[in-house]
Amino acid sequence: MKTSVIFVVDKNPIHRNLIRYNLEINKFINILTFPSGEECLHRLHKHFLPDFLITSFFTGNHSGFDFLQSVREISPATQVIFFDTFDDHQLAGKLLAAGACDCVVKTRDPDAGISELVKNVNYLAREKALFNVQ
């Protein structure tokens, strides 16, 4: 079993649960979900820091950039992955430049987008374990 701690932030409960389910069937067991960036930041302030944080661009009162900056200040080692529609492809590039480790596009077929997301998390978790990246 994989021991990575993963936070999932999405205002849509269906998306949150689908992501969680797909991570669980891929042997990730330490997953916490949050309906808003505020709730996630509250948990981060309590020093419970994830290895990976999967989030949509808008997380309640925060834009993706504000949320990313807050997460990076509290937990610089957390790898932030944005999972959204990204109609503006330049936005994804700007998020990567600001410190996100990946941006995965939500597709019309939720299974395909989530499958790509889980594949990327698997890769990042293996890389982290292999190189013992903190």
pTM confidence score: 0.91
Give per-residue pLDDT as tens, 69-79. Answer: 999 999 999 99
Residue predicted with more confidence, 46 or 58: 46
The enclosing H or E element of 71 equals helix 64-74
Q: Which stretches of 10-78 are assigned E, i.e. beta strand?
A: 28-34, 52-55
In whole angstroms, give the CA distance from residue 85 to residue 2: 28
Fold of the 2-131 domain: Rossmann fold (3.40.50)
**Domain limits, the chain:** 2-131
Give per-residue pLDDT as tens, 84-127. Answer: 887 777 888 999 999 999 999 888 887 888 999 999 999 999 88
